Chain A
Amino acid sequence: MPRVKIESPESYVHESLLTVRVTDLNYGNHLGNDRVLGYTQEARIQFFKSHNMSELDFWGTSLIQGDAAISYRSEGFLNDQIKIEIAVNDVTNSSFDLVYRLTNETTNQVLALAKTRMVCFDYDTRKVTAIPQGFKSLFG
């Protein structure tokens, strides 16, 4: 499996803020690596919500996640404020990338860069569907 290199886009279309909770820490007393993917999902849901959409109602279709890549850059600690910016990239007929830049606002350092491939999917027919025009017109 080739290691994915994540480039930070020049601009982002959405940002949200999360606080590191005690349950997000692991034995290293820092933010657990597994939690970062959960943070990206939370930010993604907020992004979709800002367009009155969700992962299950995405302009009439739904979304599944095809892949994920995370590059960890620095640590997060209890009560740190994490800003999560989202950019849309590489929109094709049925899928697109979301790129996330997580910045630790408390230490002013980039905490991680992440990328998830989102695939349009019909949960009833279990089939991949086309990108909705509503999304394409905004980000395509």
Chain B
Amino acid sequence: MVHTINKRVCGFHCDAYGHVNNARYLEFFEEARWSALHDYDLVTKLHELQLQFFVVNVNVDFKKPVVTDDIATISTSLGNLKRKTISFFQTIEVSGQITTKAEVTFVLFDTQNNRAVTISDTLVSYFKPLENA
């Protein structure tokens, strides 16, 4: 299922142009990912396996500006699963209109052996609840 959080945009999120700064969107998306991972207990599970998320690729489309006092609904769902990488599809919506779209790709990094691990069936099963069926 698609995981969503709502966030009120504050003045300090915005830059001199009056809208949310382009780099700040990545922070919004990261906050939404963390929230999704917490809600599905993934932070604990991956911590037990001594795996960390390392982002390796980000693609963002900026469609409309987001400004102070907007309520941004940030959605996160499972994207592409590959041998060593997983991606999340994420969007920001304001008043029902998509303002920003992103695909964030990451590896799971084994902090003991200092390498990215192969995405096993067990690991896939942890992320499956976030599939947009």
Tell me the residues in window 55-90 of chain A with beta carbons closer than 8 Å to chain B beta carbons: 55-56, 64-72
> Which of A3, A33, A55, A64 is within 8 Å of B59, CB to CB?
A3
Tell me the residues in window 22-51 of chain A with beta carbons closer than 8 Å to chain B beta carbons: 28, 33-35, 37-38, 41
Contact across chains for B30 and A34 when beta carbons are under 8 A apart? yes
Cβ of A20 to closest chain B Cβ, rounded Å:
15
**Docked pose: A69 CA to B102 CA in angstroms:** 9
Cβ of A34 to closest chain B Cβ, rounded Å:
4
Which residue from chain B places its CB closest to the CB of A73 in the assembled complex? B56
Main secondary structure of the interface of A (DSSP, over half): mixed
With A33-B55, A33-B58, A69-B59 already in contact, the answer to whether A1 and B101 are too (CB < 8 A) is: yes
Cβ of A62 to closest chain B Cβ, rounded Å:
8
Main secondary structure of the interface of B (DSSP, over half): strand
Tell me the residues in window 52-81 of chain B with beta carbons closer than 8 Å to chain A beta carbons: 52, 54-62, 65
Residues of A within 8 A of B (CB): 1-4, 28, 33-35, 37-38, 41, 55-56, 64-72, 116, 123
Q: Given A28-B52, A56-B16, A116-B22, output 12 extra A-B contacts at Cβ < 8 Å.
A: A1-B61, A3-B87, A34-B23, A37-B22, A37-B23, A38-B21, A67-B59, A67-B61, A68-B22, A68-B58, A70-B57, A72-B56
